[in-house]
Amino acid sequence: MRKPIIVGNWKMYKNSEEARKLVEELIPLVKDATSDIVVCVPFPLLHVVQPLIKGTNITLGAQNVSWEDEGALTGEVSAKMLKDFDVKYVIVGHSERKRVFGEKCREIGMRAVQAVKNGITPIVCVGETLERRNRDAKSYIKIQLLEVLEDIEDISKVVIAYEPVWAINGIKPATKEQAEEMCAFIREVIKEKYCEEAADVVRIQYGGSVNSSNFADFMAMDSIDGGLIGRACLDAKEFSKIINYQDK
């Protein structure tokens, strides 16, 4: 059985004081959760959140990592630096990184490799735009996956997030059937590239306009093992309701 994993992506929100308030409110609300819980915070908040969640069931994550060990790479942050803050997960290839910052799949793959090399689990995002949705969504997702995972030998060290670009930051999520179809397809691609056992263990999340009213429906689907949550993770009560989806 795959343990569910629920990840909040804070994006570029919250200052230190707001971060402290959010985390302090969240901790008691999710203390009995049975899923893995991760908060992916902006780099300058790692040192704020790390001591607050120490000894709790919440794990620290970051929102990107460099593909190099170190070097003259202004604005980048290395895996070694993230490890200093006990970061256990890092998002790579979020659609905002691709759309706004021009990140490409091969580079994202190198970031993922660097994370794995340093004992950090990359959360590898894949997803299609609306235009692709109506054209060749599956083959597009397959190309993305194979490029990003090209140098990943052990897929159990990776989490995959299926995030249709048209559902992120929107008003409407994908339907649970649309999300399931693509997550099942991703599992097929993993089976082809690795093996059946690998496809059985890899955790695949859905992300895109998830909230406390719709999350349980996604989690009831066979191939969906968790969620990558944007807006709804910025409010402790709402995020805790998502995390405690089984109580619904």
Residue 108 is encoded by which pair of tokens?
């994202």
Shortest Cβ 89–ligand PEP spacing (Å): 14
Q: Which is nearer to ligand PEP, 64 or 78 (CB)?
A: 64
Site for ligand PEP, residues 136 to 175, rule: CB under 6 A: 163, 168-169
Shortest Cβ 107–ligand PEP spacing (Å): 19
Looking at 207, 223, 236, 240, which residue binds ligand PEP (CB under 6 A)?
A: 207
Q: Is 231 in the site for ligand PEP (CB under 6 A)?
A: yes
* Contact of 77 with 46, CB cutoff 8 Å: no
Q: Which is nearer to ligand PEP, 41 or 199 (CB)?
A: 41
Number of residues that bind ligand PEP (CB under 6 A): 13
Q: Is 209 in the site for ligand PEP (CB under 6 A)?
A: yes
Shortest Cβ 74–ligand PEP spacing (Å): 25
Residues annotated as catalytic are 94, 163
Q: Which is nearer to ligand PEP, 78 or 95 (CB)?
A: 95
115-123, 133-141, 187-195, 229-237 -> range binding ligand PEP (CB under 6 A): 229-237
Q: Is 230 in the site for ligand PEP (CB under 6 A)?
A: yes
Shortest Cβ 237–ligand PEP spacing (Å): 16
- DSSP code per residue over the chain: -PPPEEEEE-TT---HHHHHHHHHHHHHHTTT--SEEEEE--GGGHHHHHHHHTTSSEEEEES---SSSS-S-TT---HHHHHTTT--EEEES-HHHHHHH---HHHHHHHHHHHHHTT-EEEEEE---HHHHTTTHHHHHHHHHHHHTTT-S-GGG-EEEE--GGGTTSS-PPPHHHHHHHHHHHHHHHHHHS-HHHHHH-EEEEESS--TTTHHHHHTSTT--EEEESGGGSSHHHHHHHHTGGG-
* Contact of 15 with 238, CB cutoff 8 Å: no
Q: Is 205 in the site for ligand PEP (CB under 6 A)?
A: no
Shortest Cβ 179–ligand PEP spacing (Å): 12
Looking at 8, 109, 122, 208, which residue binds ligand PEP (CB under 6 A)?
A: 208
Q: Kindly list the residues in this chain that would bind ligand PEP in the complex (CB under 6 A).
A: 9, 163, 168-169, 207-210, 228-232
